[in-house]
């Protein structure tokens, strides 16, 4: 959802750093977002936790949910996004690189403004 919001707001002309400031000062504040967003803004996707490993973990969660008969439809969609990132060659990059899949679809790049 964070990546989607940043792509949407950037496409609408909102400065990504302003959007992060808004998020950081709202009920939507997230430590992970506050940590990862600056890396996205400077296009640094050096791995802290890779897309391929998160994809694996999401798969394990889906397996558990299926076994326990628990619906997790949004997790399934998330796995598809991570699969798309792997298919595009981002598997070894940090999980925040999944934003590049959405950026390509929207025709916009979320980056720090000068």
Q: Residue-wise pLDDT tens for the chain (114 aa)? A: 889 999 999 999 999 999 999 999 999 899 999 999 999 999 999 999 999 999 999 999 999 999 999 999 999 999 999 999 999 999 999 999 999 999 999 999 999 987
Is 81 among the domain residues?
yes
Count of domains in the chain? 1
Structural domain boundaries, residue 84: 2-106
The CA-CA-CA angle for residues 12, 86, 99, to 5°, reads 15
Q: For position 28, what pLDDT does the model report? A: 85
- This prediction has a pTM of 0.90
Is 111 among the domain residues?
no
Is 22 among the domain residues?
yes
Is 77 among the domain residues?
yes
Backbone angles phi, psi at 50, to 5 degrees: -80, 155
Is 23 among the domain residues?
yes
């Amino acid at each position: 959802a964070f990546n989607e919001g940043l792509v949407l707001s950037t496409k609408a002309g909102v400065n990504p750093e302003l959007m992060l400031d808004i998020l950081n000062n709202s009920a939507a504040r997230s430590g992970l977002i506050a940590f990862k967003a600056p890396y996205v803004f400077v296009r640094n996707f050096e791995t802290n936790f890779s897309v391929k490993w998160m994809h694996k973990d999401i798969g394990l969660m889906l397996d558990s949910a299926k076994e326990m008969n628990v619906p997790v439809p949004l997790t399934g969609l998330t796995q598809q996004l991570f699969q798309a990132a792997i298919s595009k060659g981002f598997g070894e990059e940090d999980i925040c690189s999944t934003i590049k899949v959405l950026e390509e679809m929207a025709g916009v790049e979320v980056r720090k403004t000068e």
